[in-house]
Amino acid sequence: MGWISASAGAQVGITLPVGNLLKQNLLLMLLPVVIGIVINWLWPNAALSIDKVLSKAAFPALMLLVTIFFIQHYKTIFAHIGTLGVCVTLLILVAIGCAALLSRLLKNSERERRTVIIEVGMQNAAQAIAVASSPLVFNNQEMAIPAILYSLMMNVVLLTYVAIVKKSKK
């Protein structure tokens, strides 16, 4: 896998530190899942309490992170919002479109399909910011600018999606 990033990255002057990316993903994604499974297994009532708190804190925490990055880099964001905004919006639409199609092919219920669509949009934003700004991977806040725009546009797209779903239920 490293040879792909090396050959593609060499063309634009970027190499992806695959080993560090894997370490970060294990640390930021697998470790919390394993901890959650253990807590749920050993202390199911505590797991429910933790879930209530974390499920309400996750989205505001992501928005706080996006806001901080936006304030730090607003000049660069506004300078490139035309091109970058269109690109990230298309990326969001393609990602959630693929998620919806795959969910439909797997015959998920309507509720599961909605959840998958929303999660694909939100998880990509957090992961992109983490990859760009992490000291383990790129440690480059400017590289996080497309991820910030993704986060902002993801909210517009997903809130529009939720509004359409709610309207169609009436």
User: Over the stretch 65-124, which tens digit does the pLDDT of each residue have?
Assistant: 778 888 888 888 888 888 888 998 999 999 999 999 999 999 999 999 999 998 887 777
User: Which pLDDT belongs to residue 11?
Assistant: 60
* Contacts within 8 Å (CB) and 24+ apart, 126-129: 126/62, 126/65, 129/65, 129/66, 129/69
Q: Structural domain of residue 99, as residue ranges?
A: 60-170
Structural domains counted in the chain: 2
One domain for residues 42 and 15: yes
One domain for residues 110 and 168: yes
User: Which pLDDT belongs to residue 30?
Assistant: 86
The string over 102-111, giving b where at least 16 C-beta atoms fall within 10 Å of a residue's C-beta and e elsewhere, is ebeeeeeeee
User: Which pLDDT belongs to residue 108?
Assistant: 94
Q: What is the pLDDT of residues 7-37, one digit of tens each?
A: 555 566 667 777 887 888 788 778 888 999 9
User: Which pLDDT belongs to residue 137?
Assistant: 75
One domain for residues 96 and 161: yes
What is this structure's pTM? 0.67
One domain for residues 69 and 138: yes
One domain for residues 64 and 148: yes
138: phi then psi, degrees, rounded to nearest 5 = -105, -30
One domain for residues 72 and 25: no
User: Which pLDDT belongs to residue 100?
Assistant: 93
One domain for residues 77 and 150: yes
* Contacts within 8 Å (CB) and 24+ apart, 56-61: 59/122
One domain for residues 31 and 67: no
User: Which pLDDT belongs to residue 158?
Assistant: 86
User: Which pLDDT belongs to residue 131?
Assistant: 79
What's the pLDDT band for 39 if we cut at 50, 70, 90? Answer: very high
Question: Which among 86, 141, 91 has a CA at the least distance from the CA of 121?
Answer: 91
Q: What is the pLDDT of residues 40-63, one digit of tens each?
A: 999 999 999 999 998 888 878 878
Q: Dig out the tokens for 148 from the structure.
A: 């910030």
Asked whether the predicted pLDDT for residue 2 surpasses 70, the reply is no
One domain for residues 69 and 26: no
One domain for residues 70 and 107: yes
Spatial separation of the C-alpha atoms in residues 125 and 152, rounded to whole Å: 9
One domain for residues 78 and 42: no
Q: Average pLDDT, stretch 133-145? A: 77
One domain for residues 77 and 44: no
User: Which pLDDT belongs to residue 102?
Assistant: 95
